Amino acid sequence: MDLTPTPSQTVGPYLHLGLTDARSISCIAGDRVKGERVWLTFRVLDGDGVPVPDAMIELWQADSEGNYAHQDSVANGAAFRGFGRLATAEDGSCTFETIRPGCVPGLRETVQAPHINVSILGRGILKRLSTRVYFAGEPANAEDLVLALVPENRRATLLAQPDPTRSDNWIFDMRLRGESETVFFDV
């Protein structure tokens, strides 16, 4: 008997089957939620800059006052759910409707700059990738201890940029590999 090793099975194109069809959540904050309403467009790109059409993105964020939603409040119909999940389209993009988060408590009585926690899953990704999205131009970025852990020349990979065509939209390019690879955290 020949016991030649075979390649491992990667996650197929069906990883989000049942998670993004009927259970997609693009609106994280309803109309009644106070705060600056924004749209955040993700563009997922591979190492060659080619769009990834079948990735799944999940977001978790605080509200405009820096509070995370609790399971009880979401179950009772609160307008702020703090969570979103979408699959990317053929062009590798998806857009969430939300509010700009507030600062949240950090270590040693510090605060963390407004950010959104992100996980991405997709074909060939055997373990979810975790990162954060910060907002370019946010003054609190300079004091964020987590962002300070990232080498200065790589921090731009964590910054959403204002959309030049629409003032309430932000764009975040998530590069899975290559020269401008997004910084991913080992969580």
Asked whether the beta carbons of 130 and 184 are under 8 A apart, the reply is yes
CATH of the domain at 151: 2.60.130.10
- Quick check: 16 pLDDT over 80? no
* pLDDT, position 98: 95
**Within a domain: 93:** yes
**Within a domain: 5:** no
Give the pair of three-digit tokens for residue 74: 């979401």
Distance (Å) of CA 82 to CA 10, 25, 56, 145: 30, 10, 17, 22
Stated pTM of the model:
0.86
- Quick check: 139 pLDDT over 60? yes
**Within a domain: 23:** no
Which amino acid belongs to residue 89?
A
Q: What is the pLDDT of residues 31-59, one digit of tens each?
A: 889 999 999 999 999 999 999 998 999 99
State which residues form the domain around 168: 37-175
* pLDDT, position 75: 47
The total of structural domains in the chain comes to 1
**Within a domain: 171:** yes
